[in-house]
Amino acid sequence: MYGMTWKDLVNKYFPNATSNECESILWSETSFPIGSVSCIEKQLKDFHMKSMEKIKT
């Protein structure tokens, strides 16, 4: 994650998320702040996929 911020990582999956939304997603949907970067990225990806499924239905 060199050169990236946590907001950048969230915006990779949720490009329109505001700073407040990024913070909320990190704290409520991932193991942030104790999880590894790879674990948190997987959780973000999974949450994004679940969010997209809800939109389709």
Q: Cα(6)–Cα(23) distance, rounded to whole angstroms?
A: 8
Q: Are 14 and 48 in contact (CB under 8 A)?
A: yes
pLDDT tops 80 at residue 1: no
pLDDT tops 70 at residue 13: yes
User: Crossing angle, helix 19-29 and helix 37-56, to 10 degrees?
Assistant: 100
Retrieve residue 5's tokens: 């911020």
Q: Cα(19)–Cα(54) distance, rounded to whole angstroms?
A: 23
The predicted-structure confidence for 28-54, as pLDDT tens digits, reads as follows 999 999 999 999 999 999 999 999 988
In percent, the amount of the chain with pLDDT more than 70 equals 96
Q: Cα(45)–Cα(55) distance, rounded to whole angstroms?
A: 16
